[in-house]
Copies of this chain bind each other. A is one copy, B any other.
């Protein structure tokens, strides 16, 4: 093993130099995203919802009776990848698929009596975890962070 004073020869015990990626907004965005991800937390995991599942439930709560097409667009997932998400939620009895009468190609989605309260609780938990994970920001900082992020991706 190397002596502690011998740090000029190599970096066995020193910090790594910052590389170029640390100058990119995108890099810090990804790290912050990971730090704020609620799905790795046990309190959120207790709902047994994957990110896509939660996105569907939350969208349906705010937008009752929308078609699968619009849900797919709304949560940014392709139609083929939405199908297994809906299968899972339907088999858990959290959502219902209903064939539209006016156009029998479309299926309309809605939260069930079990799905609605579970969605509410999951949303409350996600909001609480986010609030804890961003406790170092005051209200103004939080609003400004969101405003700057939106400026980057909107349109």
Query: Hey, which bits of chain A sit against chain B, CB under 8 A?
Result: 10-11, 16-21, 23-26, 28-38, 55, 58-59, 61-63, 65-66, 70, 74, 123, 126-127, 130, 133-134, 136-137, 141-142, 144-146, 148-153
The 6 closest A-B pairs by CB, nearest first: A26-B36, A35-B153, A19-B62, A28-B149, A29-B33, A17-B62
26 A-B interface contacts by CB (under 8 A): A16-B63, A16-B66, A16-B74, A17-B62, A20-B61, A20-B62, A23-B127, A24-B130, A25-B36, A25-B130, A25-B134, A25-B149, A26-B32, A28-B153, A31-B149, A31-B153, A32-B149, A35-B152, A136-B151, A136-B152, A144-B144, A144-B148, A145-B148, A145-B149, A145-B152, A148-B148
